[in-house]
């Protein structure tokens, strides 16, 4: 009989053993993310049967209509992390202000930022969804965290990753020692190691972008996307277009097979749509840990100075050589 795959908790414990400073808290933190994933997946599996599709009628801080499932997923994150004493403040794409947890302070070392449900436009048509999380260290022990403590540069993350609710539920994360993927085994309710040390190919043949926005893009972005469609056997063009409406699912495809995802700046929205703290930073770190690249078009995502909680940023992420090509076009260094 072959060896039984490693469970998430065992994998983390083993990785921690190589780091004498490891306290076991990361293990608990990731186990809680895993629990969030199980709870949300449970709702998603029967979403069409239990009146949780559609919108709540509210508009969130991002100016977008709130789906019932956005709210449910957000509540699940809050419920799980209020307990356990690991996190003393949380910030979510769905909440204007962070939630501070004085009851967990001062023992809780971490702050959690999350997009509770990514790809919300997919809820009502049974398409993939995700969640994205980012963890930073809480400030010194002599004071409770404030909103400013959550507004941190991507390089300050200590753990980051995503949950993908596709045909399987997956948890992919990094703590800076590579990126690893776990698949939820539904019969036993455990996440099992399915993708150890993810490695993204240096170049792919797939691009993901909402081309409906083409006429709002800068010239360099238009030229790059046009270039991807010209035939050239040497560089594998034309690339295939793949866009699901769920960033997590699109980035996951690219992480496994190569290529790139773009949500560029637009004429009336120069910073694009995606949020730096809840979406771009955590995915950028995962992709970099797998050998890929994540850029605004002019600089590394992880080096972007964070100024506020809901800041947006253009995102170009995926295979290192593909992202470099896109940067050259955007910066006007390269012409087709």
Under the criterion CB under 6 A, does residue 254 sit at the interface with ligand AHG? no
Considering only residues 118 through 157, tell me which ones interact with Mn ion, judged by CB under 5 A: 118
Binding-site size, ligand AHG (CB under 6 A): 12
Cβ neighbours for 225, distance < 8 A, ≥ 6 positions apart: 207, 209, 211, 214, 217, 262
Under the criterion CB under 5 A, does residue 115 sit at the interface with Mn ion? yes
CA 129 to CA 82: how far, in whole Å?
Answer: 24
Minimum Å distance from CB 245 to ligand AHG? 5
Q: Which stretches of 5-87 are DSSP H helices? A: 8-17, 25-45, 68-82
Burial code (b: 16+ CB inside 10 Å, e: under 16) for 39-56 equals: bbbebbeebeeeebeebe
Query: Measuring CA to CA, which residue among 2, 5, 321 is closest to residue 193?
Result: 5
Please tell me whether the peptide bond between 212 and the residue prior to it is cis, using omega within 30 degrees of 0: no
Under the criterion CB under 6 A, does residue 308 sit at the interface with ligand AHG? no
Under the criterion CB under 6 A, does residue 245 sit at the interface with ligand AHG? yes
Question: Backbone phi, then psi, for 198, in 5-degree steps?
Answer: -60, 140
List 136, 247, 276, 284, residue binding ligand AHG (CB under 6 A): 247
Minimum Å distance from CB 325 to ligand AHG? 21
Closest to ligand AHG by CB, 145 vs 314, is: 314
Considering only residues 154 through 193, tell me which ones interact with Mn ion, judged by CB under 5 A: none
85-93, 105-113, 178-186, 230-238 -> range binding Mn ion (CB under 5 A): 85-93
Helix, coil or strand: residue 255: helix
> How wide is the angle at C-alpha 47 spanned by C-alphas 115 and 59, nearest 5°?
45
Q: Is the dihedral of CA 273, 277, 283, 287 positive or negative?
A: positive
Under the criterion CB under 6 A, does residue 273 sit at the interface with ligand AHG? yes
Closest to ligand AHG by CB, 25 vs 64, is: 64
Cβ neighbours for 197, distance < 8 A, ≥ 6 positions apart: 178, 179, 180
219 backbone φψ class: left, alpha, beta (φ>0; ψ -120 to 50):
alpha
- Other Cβ atoms less than 10 A from the Cβ of 300: the count is 14
**Which residues does residue 4 pair with via DSSP β-bridges, in sequence order?**
none
159-167, 172-180, 242-250, 304-312 -> range binding ligand AHG (CB under 6 A): 242-250
| From Mn ion, ligand AHG, none, interface partner of 121 (C-beta below 5 to 8 A by class) | ligand AHG
Under the criterion CB under 6 A, does residue 301 sit at the interface with ligand AHG? no
Closest to Mn ion by CB, 93 vs 149, is: 93
Closest to ligand AHG by CB, 36 vs 108, is: 36
Considering only residues 299 through 318, tell me which ones interact with Mn ion, judged by CB under 5 A: none
| From ligand AHG, Mn ion, none, interface partner of 246 (C-beta below 5 to 8 A by class) | ligand AHG
Closest to ligand AHG by CB, 279 vs 327, is: 279
Minimum Å distance from CB 253 to ligand AHG? 12
Closest to ligand AHG by CB, 14 vs 210, is: 210
Please tell me whether the peptide bond between 238 and the residue prior to it is cis, using omega within 30 degrees of 0: yes
158-166, 222-230, 240-248, 288-296 -> range binding ligand AHG (CB under 6 A): 240-248
**Residue ranges in contact with ligand AHG by CB under 6 A:** 64, 93, 115, 118-121, 210, 245-247, 273
Positions that interact with Mn ion (CB under 5 A): 93, 115, 117-118
């Amino acid at each position: 009989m072959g060896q039984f795959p490693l469970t998430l908790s065992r994998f983390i414990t083993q990785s921690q053993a190589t780091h004498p400073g490891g306290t076991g808290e990361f293990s608990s933190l990731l186990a809680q993310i895993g629990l969030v994933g199980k709870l949300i997946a449970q709702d998603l599996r029967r979403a069409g049967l239990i009146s949780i599709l559609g919108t709540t009628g509210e508009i969130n801080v991002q100016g977008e209509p709130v789906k019932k499932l956005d709210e449910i997923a957000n509540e699940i994150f809050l419920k799980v992390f209020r307990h356990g004493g690991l996190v003393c403040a949380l910030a979510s794409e769905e909440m204007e202000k962070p939630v501070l947890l004085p009851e967990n302070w001062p023992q809780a070392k971490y702050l959690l930022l999350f997009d509770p449900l990514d790809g919300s436009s997919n809820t009502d048509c049974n398409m993939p969804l995700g969640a994205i999380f980012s963890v930073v260290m809480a400030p010194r022990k002599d004071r409770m965290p404030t909103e400013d403590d959550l507004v941190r540069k991507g390089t300050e993350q200590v753990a980051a990753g995503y949950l993908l609710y596709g045909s399987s539920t997956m948890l992919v994360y990094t703590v800076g020692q590579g990126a690893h993927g776990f698949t939820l085994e539904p019969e036993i309710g455990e996440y099992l190691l399915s993708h150890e040390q993810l490695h993204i190919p240096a170049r792919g043949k797939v691009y993901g972008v909402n081309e409906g926005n083409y006429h709002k893009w800068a010239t360099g972005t238009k030229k790059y996307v046009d270039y991807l469609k010209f035939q050239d056997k040497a560089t594998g063009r034309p690339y295939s277009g793949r866009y699901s409406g769920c960033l997590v699912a699109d980035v996951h495809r690219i992480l496994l097979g190569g290529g790139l995802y773009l949500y560029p700046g637009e004429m009336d929205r120069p910073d694009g749509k995606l949020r730096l703290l809840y979406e771009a930073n955590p995915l950028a770190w995962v992709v970099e840990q797998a050998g890929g690249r994540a850029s605004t078009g002019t600089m590394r995502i992880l080096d972007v100075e964070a100024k506020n909680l809901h800041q947006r940023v253009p995102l170009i992420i995926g295979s290192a050589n593909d992202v470099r090509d896109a940067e050259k076009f955007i910066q006007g260094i390269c012409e087709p």
